[in-house]
Structure 1
């Protein structure tokens, strides 16, 4: 089922966390941030929305690095209900798509809850002070491979890198809902 996250809550401070990456190393929020900010992308392996844009996500993460913007992806889906999102499959997915950034496992879903993640993909763009400045979509093409699509995440974070502030006009991402564990 498709889900849409809420609009950006400008200035909201990123909650700290410690998660294991698919490279079997732990990561903390402070170690992921670049000099000018950080993008956290809640993704998963099985979602057709993520599968359609994963190469563009990797491209944009690479293009943001020289601007001082760190990047990490987080999978919070319940792997019991969705085995394709298991830790082992996350490792395979990261290798297959040549992730050079951390792909983090959120097994108890506490990070997704703390951030209010709603869908995959769900992008959180923070400035150098880890204040939220972007909560929008990757680009204007959605699940298609539209040539020349406006790179909204990249443009927003480029602005954040230069000014510390994101654009006020943002279009929410859309994707599969986070697959929460049964209560």
Structure 2
């Protein structure tokens, strides 16, 4: 079942984290934050919504990093129930696809809960001071990739944040698979 996150809570502060990356390092938010903003993405390996746009995520992440925006991806899915989302499989995907950003594992799911992440993909775009300015979609894609010339909504929004410190007033929420929470 597809789910969609709530609308952007402008100015909401980015929660910190300290998580292991598929590159063998531990990463904190302050190490990832860029001088012009930060993009925190909740993704996973098995989600068809993520799979359909992974090429676009990689393209836009690289372009944003070149503009001074820090980028990170975090997977919080329960790997016991979804083995494709295991840390080893995350590392394999990051290697095979040459992720230009750290891919982190939130095994405890505490970071996803702190962010209020609800689906994969779920995008959080912060300004240079760490205030939320974008909680929208990548583009018009869904379970299948949208048109090749689809408007790059996430990229455009983050470039606006980099230039002005403010995200767009109108944002269309992302849509994807629900995060696979562990049983309590």
Fold in common (TM above 0.5):
yes
Unaligned runs of 5+ in 1: none
CA shift, 1:97, in A, is 1.5
Give the ranges of 4+ consecutive aligned residues of structure 1 lying more than 3 Å apart after TM superposition: none
Say if 2:78 and 2:182, in contact at 8 Å, map to a contact too: yes
CA distance in 2, matches of 1:172, 1:141: 12
Q: Residue 101 of structure 2 aligns with which residue?
A: 101
- Mapped to 2, the partners of 1:40 and 1:114 lie a distance apart of 12
Tell me the number of residue pairs that the alignment of Structure 1 and Structure 2 aligns: 183
Aligned residue in 2 for 1:160: 161
Provide the residue aligned with 1:90 in structure 2.
Answer: 90
Aligned to 1:112, what secondary structure does the other structure show?
helix
In 2, the alpha carbon distance for the partners of 1:28 and 1:118 equals: 21
Alignment map for 1:27-176 (pairs within 5 Å): 27-142=27-142, 143-176=144-177
Where in structure 2 are there 5+ consecutive unaligned residues? none
SS class of match (1:61): helix
* Conserved? CA contact 1:54–1:97, under 8 Å: no
Separation in 2, partners of 1:145, 1:13: 31
Distance in 2 separating the partners of 1:76 and 1:147: 29
- Cα distance between partner residues in 2 of 1:66 and 1:90: 24
Cα contact 1:18–1:28 (8 A) shared by 2: yes
User: Residue deviations 1:31-74, cap 9 Å, x none?
Assistant: 10110100000000000000000010000001101211010000
